[in-house]
Structure formats: C-alpha cells, structure tokens
Amino acid sequence: MLEIDNLSHVYGGGSPNAHHAIEGLNLSVAEGELLCIVGPSGAGKSTLLRSIAGLISPTGGQIRIEGNVVRQTPDNLAVVFQDYSRSLFPWMSVVDNVALPLRRKNMDKRQRREAAHEALESVGLAGAERKYPFQLSGGMQQRVAIARALAYRPALMLMDEPFGSVDAQTREDLEDLVLKVRGHHKMTIVLITHDIDESVYVGDRVVVLSKAPAHVVGDLKVELPTPRDQISTREHPDFVHLRAEVGRLVRGHAAV
C-alpha cells in the first residue's frame, strides 16, 4: 500500500550546518495495517510523515502510495496533527470543519453535511455540530480532527503524535477510539508516537527509528489478542515483553 525506498532528507543542504533528518530509510506498509512508528525525539519522525503526505519533497529516495509516486499531496490521504487547536479552523463550526475537505470530492452540500455528521457520530460527538472548536475540551477537539480525517475516507490516514497534547485518561479514550474506527473504516493507518507503550498497545506492527539521520532499526509484529483492552492488554506477558524490546531499541539508539 505504502512503499518507501531509500528515503533521505537534508535540511539546508550544502551549508556547513545542514541537518540530515532521514538517511536510507526503507519501509513498506500493507493494506489495512496499523503501523506505529516510534523513535527518540528529534529523530525525523515528523519529517517522514510530512514527506509521505507530500507536504515537503524529500531530497532523496522515493515514496509510493498504491503504486503512485508521491510528488504533491496525494488525494487519498488524510493527516491528523498533534496540535488540534492549530489544525482545526477556529472560525468554523465543528461540522463545517469536518465537511470542508470534502469539497475536494464530488459531493454536494447536503452530502458533505451528511458525511460530516456521520463521522462526528462515529467519534462520539453527535450533537456538537454547531459548536465552535474553542467551546470544546482538548480531547473533543482532537476527536473533531479525527472525524475530519474519517469523513474524507482516505485510503491512508497519517497521525503525527495525535495524543501528545491530551491528559492520560483522554489519551486512553482516543487510543481506543482509533482502534474502534479502524474496524469500521477499511484503511491503512500510520501513527507516529514517542510513547513506547502506546505503539505496542495500538499497533499491528511497530517500527523503531534511530536518532537522526533516521533509518529503521527495528520492525516488530505485535500479536496481542483483540480487541485490545487498556487493563488486560497492558498486563499481558507479550505486551510487557514487547514494550521492553521496543524500549531497548529506542534507548539503544538514542544514547549519545
């Protein structure tokens, strides 16, 4: 579904303080997979995500989505950013925020509203349509951002530290929300996080990146019983074992 070949990206190429964010990164994600990417902070995770989304052009290598080389922002893709308060449009009601990207699709106003309503319902926000983002809590705002991505029905959903700015309880709720909605919508999800436990809890597969310049240093399959449960999954011996494994990989390569 998603193939990344020998990707590299250099910021400020040519200058003496050029920053090599990514170098020689190879990765392939299967259709319908939920892949978590973890790595030490500053590892170039966001650079990777922005390259996949076509928001920046990597300086080397190639990214293909469903066989098509990414040159601009692909139209079968949606991104959920960490900072919901900045990525939602504060001058628009919740329903208008969710419906706006659907203008790219062949849908009339009524269809857009219906799709937005349905997506909001699936994230537990039925009834909040007429509210404005600033009238909602952080967790609810991030639900709106997720609903906006879902309504678009992307083949690939990218999530950049989506739960990094909410409290622990909300974080668990949102993790479960992602697991729930992926069951309803058949799509591939790539979720970037720096939280090792989260990556094991949510993912089908966890890929560990090295510190910058980033490349893949670990690729682990997560075979935990489904549906996942915040209490029992996290005490499962396999979970404990996997999180230790991922932790060692992250740490080992984060050490100076």
- Which parts of this chain interact with other proteins (CB under 8 A)? 53-55, 72-75, 77-79, 81, 83, 86-92, 100-101, 104, 132-137, 139-140, 152, 169-170, 173
In this structure, are residues 214 and 21 in contact, taking their beta carbons and an 8 Å threshold?
Answer: yes
Q: Return the number of the residue (137 or 226) whose C-beta is nearest other proteins.
A: 137
Q: Cβ 1 to other proteins, closest distance in Å?
A: 18
Least Å distance between CB 165 and other proteins? 12
Measured from the CB atom, the residue of 126 and 240 that comes closer to other proteins is 126
Minimum distance, C-beta of residue 207 to other proteins, in the bound complex (Å): 21
Residue 92 or 179: the one with the smaller Cβ distance to other proteins is 92
Residues 6+ apart with CB under 8 A from 7: 22, 24, 25, 26, 48, 51, 58, 60, 61, 62, 63
Query: Could you write out the DSSP letters of every residue in 130-163?
Result: TS-GGGS-HHHHHHHHHHHHHHT--SEEEEESTT
- When the beta carbons of 28 and 73 are compared against other proteins, the nearer one is 73
CB 53 to other proteins: min, Å: 5
For residue 103, what is the DSSP state?
G
Query: In the bound complex, what is the minimum distance in angstroms from residue 7's beta carbon to other proteins?
Result: 18
Nearer to other proteins among residue 86 and residue 221 (C-beta): 86
CA distances from 229 to 172, 180, 235, 243 (A): 10, 11, 10, 16
Residue 29 amino acid letter: V
